Chains A and B, each alone.
Chain A
Amino acid sequence: MNLNYLFDPAHWNLEDGSIPLLILSHLWYVVLALIIGTIIALPIGLYIGHTGRGSFLAINAGNAGRSLPTLGLLMLMVTLLGLGLTPVLIALTVLVIPPILTSAYAGMRSLDPRVVDAARGMGMRPWQVLTKVELPMALPVLISGFRSAALQVVATATVAAAVGLNGLGRLLIDGLAVNDYSRVLAGAIVVAVLAVLLDLVLALAQRWIVSPGLR
């Protein structure tokens, strides 16, 4: 086991299967899954948090979602739908929905009800209360949920390679198949670095987005 594969310049050109292209395809799966997951989970989480209806669902969604084995779900989807991006996106989206939903809910619940009352008292309409008060104040919790979703999906997107897609899992699966541990190591390192960088970017974004008054 050594770092030869990682540092071989031939693996960093822009040919098919090179590390930069695998990083791109990996990020593509991750970003798509996060976007779709957010579109689905955020409104539901906010609604439940805002109204308090369905709290049971929101609290337990986290662990229920985590308990779905991604590999099994992926293989199920490929068996049903055939080869392609869709099955992978479904499996990864299912993974990101729970943390986003739960944190959106928790963020809304963490608000001081008096603040919301004050906003209403100032004559804000429900939509204004949501967008100008509740959402900004729930952001810190919400973003931390988003960050943990992102971390999970970066590591898990490697399973896409097990069903013939690209992404950094290629280095793991191919390295394993041809008994090239240097390649597996390269894959693991790049995934971990990618996860750390992504988390860093999101942490910076968090500083930038979250209102200074809430820090």
Chain B
Amino acid sequence: MRTRIAVAGLAVLFSLAACGANDDPLSKDAGGGSSTSSSTVTIGSANFAESELLAEIYAQALEAKKVQVKRQFNIGARELYLKALQDGSIDLLPEYNGALLSALAKGGAPQGVTTPDQVLAELKKVLPSGTEVLEQSAAEDKDTLTVTSDTATKYNLKTIDDLKPVANQLTIGAGPEWQERYQGLKGLKELYGLQFKTFKPLDAGGPLTVNALVKNQIQVGNIFSTDSSIATNKFVVLDDPKNLYLAENIIPLIRSTSNNPTVSGALNAVSAKLTTENLTTYLAKVQVDKQDTAAVAKAFLSENGLS
């Protein structure tokens, strides 16, 4: 009876060990730490489809150059994944220059900084130590305030300014991080004087927000400008005359320890090929056609001569 218990116990341990032999998440290599212990580049992404697609494009571009990569996608909002980057859990991720600048600069992005080059110059001043950005792409994906065409007609909305007289009757939906961000409720209040009836914390421009807009559970939603749901649902994107939302060019953010000519060469080549148009097209393949992210990334790279 005691031998049986011992045998059973050992069998359980062995089968666990066998199961994890190839991919032991408890080994020191897992969950990051790779940046210092080996040449593997751990790539992270935020918790929305476009970020994951871009991260996958980076991953395959690096793999094509024989760089070892590890995928650690879908981490969360910027507030969370920047921490992961700083503690070495991840080494690289796709970022948006304006949003990143606003998050890093004390008191938000400086006044008058709106063009891609201005944003990049300011961004380089405030990057956390040990991290750097590579070349930014022409592709932009901005935060927007978006409404349904019904809402736009009803209140005669074209710009964010037009919301001012009616905001107190409207519910706005966005990722929970909007409660604290300058490029969220704070900026809307300070810059445009908007005070919405309620804020509904949903997701970062994802299906919850789209769904809530369609069902009129929210009237104003934060949708990303490249999102195919805007066209699909005939949403109206409100103009931003006061430039609350800065340039949002896609840019690789990397830990300096992982940066080397091979890596930067591969990623800069990706940035050179990325445009708002092709990003929108490829993102629609993921969002609308439900194609696999890896397959879409592969198609992007081969069609742009990068694989």
Q: Are B208 and A177 in contact (CB under 8 A)?
A: no
Q: A178-B176, A179-B83 are in contact. Are A173 and B201 (CB under 8 A)?
A: yes
Q: State whether A170 and B208 are in contact (beta carbons under 8 Å apart), knowing that A177-B77, A178-B179, A179-B79 are contacts in the complex.
A: no
Question: Do the beta carbons of B79 and A174 come within 8 Å of each other?
Answer: no
A interface footprint on B180-205 (CB within 8 Å = 1, 0 otherwise): 11000000000000000011111100
B83, A164: Cβ atoms under 8 Å?
Answer: no
- Give the complex CA separation of A78 and B215 in angstroms: 13
- Bound together, the chains give a CA A176 to CA B176 distance in angstroms of 9
Asked whether, in the complex, the Cβ of A83 is within 8 Å of the Cβ of B201, the reply is no
The chain B residue with its CB closest to the CB of A179 is: B79
- Assess whether B79 is in contact with A177, with CB atoms less than 8 Å apart: yes
A164 to B83, CA, bound (A): 24
Chain A proximity of B208: nearest CB distance (Å): 5
Bits for A171-187, please: 1 = Cβ < 8 Å to B, else 0. 00110111110000000
Contact bitstring B73-94, A, C-beta under 8 A = 1, else 0: 0001101100100000000000
Is A82 in the interface zone, CB < 8 Å from B? Answer: yes
A interface residue count range (under 10 / 10 to 19 / 20 to 34 / 35 or more): 10 to 19
Chain A residues in 8 Å Cβ range of B175 = 177
A177 CB contact (under 8 Å) in B83, B176, B200, B211: B176
Tell me which residues across on chain B come within 8 A of A161, comparing CB atoms: 201
Q: Enumerate chain A residues within 8 angstroms of B179, measured Cβ to Cβ.
A: 174, 178
Asked whether B198 lies within 8 Å of A164 as measured between CB atoms, the reply is no
A8 interface residue, CB < 8 Å from B?
A: no
Asked if residues B200 and A164 are in contact (CB atoms below 8 Å), the reply is: yes
Residues from chain B with a CB closer than 8 A to the CB of A111 are none
Residues of B within 8 A of A177 (CB): 76-77, 79-80, 175-177, 201
B217 proximal to A (CB < 8 A): yes
Task: Please indicate the chain A residues that have their CB under 8 angstroms from the CB of B217 in the complex.
Answer: 83-84
Give bound CA distance, A163 to B77, whole Å: 15
Q: Tell me the complex Cα distance, A83–B215, Å.
A: 9
Residue A16 CB within 8 A of the other chain: yes
* B180 adjacent to A83 (CB under 8 Å): no
CB distance from A105 to the nearest CB of B (A): 29
Q: How far is the CB of A171 from chain B (nearest CB, A)?
A: 10
19 contacts between A and B (CB under 8 A): A16-B198, A79-B207, A82-B211, A82-B215, A161-B201, A163-B208, A164-B208, A170-B176, A170-B201, A173-B176, A173-B201, A176-B77, A177-B77, A177-B80, A178-B79, A178-B177, A178-B179, A179-B83, A180-B180
| Interface residue ranges, A against B (CB under 8 Å) | 16, 78-79, 82-84, 161, 163-164, 170, 173-174, 176-180
